[in-house]
Amino acid sequence: MRHVIALDVGGTGMKAALAGPGGEVLHRARRATGRAQGPDAVVAGILGFAAELHAYGAEHFGQPASAAGVAVPGIVDEAQGVAVYAANLGWRDVPLRDLLTQRLGVPVALGHDVRTGGLAEGRVGAGRGADRFLFVALGTGIAGAIGVDGRVEAGAHGFAGEIGHIVVRPGGSPCPCGQRGCLERFASAAAVSEAWATASGDPDADAADCAKAVDSGDPKAGAVWQQAVDALADGLVTALTLLDPRTLIIGGGLAEAGETLFAPLREAIGRRITFQKQPTLVPAALGDSAGCLGAGLLAWDLLASTDRMEVTP
């Protein structure tokens, strides 16, 4: 059976699947990323894991994978197939696509983890059917994916969608990117956790605890939460003004608060827009499988383009 390898590389673990032509998952597997052993060990682990998946497909489905799609964090040059930089994995300028192609003997597509997850959400998840969507992941940081007609825009230099570094509070908290007042310093899950730990006096409190306290009517939690919602709305309205998406998909850890987040966020966006059209605001649907599913889509897209080239006279 024809299938592809889909591999999502995270800071601590790797999720993988063998995906059939209709997107059906034929096999799943997980491995530790092994970042404690250094970037060379991480790369070796990726290559070895991909080779195992390749062998599994050949044994169980009558033929090896026809292609592979790989999603990685950090700065990614998708056109050249290079993992440029990832702070949490410690690598720089790794020609990952070429290394995997040499190891597997099949074409390989390399993608940015959030853009790849956004591709899956837009095409087969919460944004299915939307011609224009914006996917925003609220995790340790904040990143986005700009969807246009079934594909995700990487930008001229691979930086498209970095909504977390829109400045929403000029002169505010310093950000590791070098600016001050970036959106992710106020509205990421990490930022809410930090603010609530300070406000509650509990150093172990996190964003999920804050959301629970909001639901119980705690005024301190309400203030922390509203500060994050207001900052998020400011950043999103800037993005809406530039991109005019039909659907706005919110994922990541903070989105797990459900309507505790979405109800005030819809209201805050509504108060801010003037001429802009308010998009449909929906939670992400695919959870932590989005990156892996998106990697599979990248692989099938690559095969489709290869097939077209082969039949062109």
Quick: pLDDT tens for 201-252: 999 999 999 999 999 999 999 999 999 999 999 999 999 999 999 999 999 9
Token pair recorded at residue 150: 């079934």
- What is the spatial order of strands in the sheet that 75-77 belongs to? 75-77, 82-86, 91-94
- Beta bridge partners, 92, equal 85
Parallel/antiparallel/unpaired status of strands 132-138 and 142-148: antiparallel
CA dist., res. 32 & res. 42, Å (int): 9
Q: Which residues contact 226 (CB under 8 A, 6 or more apart)?
A: 264
Of 15, 9, 104, the C-alpha closest to 64 is: 104
Domain borders along the chain are 4-116+288-311, 129-284
147, with CB counted inside 10 A (0-12, 13-18, 19+), is buried
pLDDT band at 119 (very low <50, low <70, confident <90, very high): very high
pLDDT over threshold 50, residue 312? no
Q: Tell me: the pLDDT tens digits for 52-76? A: 999 999 999 999 999 999 999 988 9
- Do 4-116+288-311 and 129-284 fold alike per CATH? yes
Place of tokens 């992400």: 284
How far apart (Å, rounded) are the C-alpha atoms in residues 300 and 1? 14
Q: What superfamily would CATH give domain 129-284?
A: ATPase, nucleotide binding domain (3.30.420.40)
Q: How confident is the model over 156-209, as pLDDT tens digits? A: 888 899 999 999 999 999 998 899 999 999 999 999 999 999 999 999 999 999
Number of other CB atoms surrounding residue 59 within 10 Å: 9
CATH fold of 4-116+288-311, please?
A: Nucleotidyltransferase; domain 5 (3.30.420)
